[in-house]
């Protein structure tokens, strides 16, 4: 009986220490990602012309059926080209401002797992095409709090030419992690910007859909 009690205590201690290690690791990753994003953002803003007021965006009359892009952690190479700025060997297409969350982050032009550890990445689409999709890890300093966004909240994307594009949140959806077609589904008339990240389980995605306000 004493031996069993000793084993149970030892097992419990190992589990507690493992949970503590995981918690400390996650906190360190979040702090590292926040510091890297802040450093890059300062350089990026300095390299971009002064933002103009919300640029007029002409949406396409018709929208082709979207291709199935590679899975979340795989580099997407089919996204149309955008004006970029190169910083330390990485290309950025602009920066994202989320006033309701007090978040402002650089956006890497093409998605890759190493890039996601530092900043959000353009997963697919363009501003002019009305189908921009941006992905990020669920660090609290990145997209970890986007599920808190409410309908009507403003999202700003400033491109590398200094054009500031304004969007409004209209919904927040849960999408299966393997369901790429649902993530990219909808036409430019449904929404023009999607922000997404993993939920805490890692099996689903939180997808925030946004539109360009009618007065823009």
Residue closest to 54 by CA, chosen among 208, 195, 168: 168
What is the per-residue pLDDT across 88-139, written as a single tens digit (0 to 9) for each? 999 999 999 999 999 999 999 998 888 999 999 999 899 988 999 999 999 9
Count of structural domains, the chain: 1
> So what's the pLDDT on residue 74?
46
26 lies in some domain: no
> So what's the pLDDT on residue 26?
62
Q: Residue 151's domain spans which residues?
A: 37-211
> So what's the pLDDT on residue 15?
62
d(CA 192, CA 171): 12
> So what's the pLDDT on residue 22?
56
Q: Say how many C-beta atoms besides its own lie within 10 A of residue 89's C-beta.
A: 5
CATH number at residue 201: 2.40.260.10
112 lies in some domain: yes
What is the reported pTM? 0.75
- B/e letters for 57-82, b = 16+ CB within 10 Å, e = fewer, are beeeeeeeebeebeebeeebeebeeb
> So what's the pLDDT on residue 191?
92
80 lies in some domain: yes
> So what's the pLDDT on residue 57?
47
56 lies in some domain: yes
> So what's the pLDDT on residue 87?
94
149 lies in some domain: yes
Residue closest to 131 by CA, chosen among 53, 183, 194: 194
> So what's the pLDDT on residue 195?
96
43 lies in some domain: yes
147 lies in some domain: yes
> So what's the pLDDT on residue 92?
96
Low-confidence ranges of the chain (pLDDT < 70): 1-15, 17-29, 51-80, 186-188, 215-216
Cα-based torsion angle of the residue sequence 164, 166, 172, 178 in order, rounded to the nearest 10 degrees: -40
The maximal CA–CA distance of the chain, rounded, in angstroms, is 75
């Amino acid at each position: 009986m004493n031996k069993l009690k000793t084993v149970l205590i030892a097992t419990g201690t190992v589990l507690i220490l493992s949970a503590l290690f995981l918690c400390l690791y996650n906190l360190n990753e979040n702090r590292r990602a926040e510091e890297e994003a802040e450093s890059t953002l300062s350089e990026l803003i300095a390299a971009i012309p002064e933002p103009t007021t919300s640029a007029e965006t002409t949406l396409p009359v018709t929208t082709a059926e979207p291709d199935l892009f590679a899975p979340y952690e795989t580099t997407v190479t089919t996204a149309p080209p955008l004006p970029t700025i190169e910083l330390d060997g990485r290309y950025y297409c602009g920066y994202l401002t989320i006033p309701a969350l007090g978040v402002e982050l650089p956006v890497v032009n093409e998605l890759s797992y190493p890039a996601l550890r530092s900043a959000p990445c353009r997963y697919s689409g363009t501003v002019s095409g009305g189908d921009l999709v941006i992905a990020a890890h669920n660090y609290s300093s990145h997209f970890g709090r986007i599920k808190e966004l409410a309908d009507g909240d403003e999202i700003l994307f400033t491109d590398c030419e200094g054009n500031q594009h304004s969007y409004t949140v209209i919904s927040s959806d849960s999408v299966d992690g393997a369901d790429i077609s649902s993530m990219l589904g909808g036409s430019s008339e449904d929404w023009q910007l999607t922000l997404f990240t993993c939920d805490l389980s890692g099996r689903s995605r939180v997808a925030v859909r946004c539109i360009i306000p009618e007065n823009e």
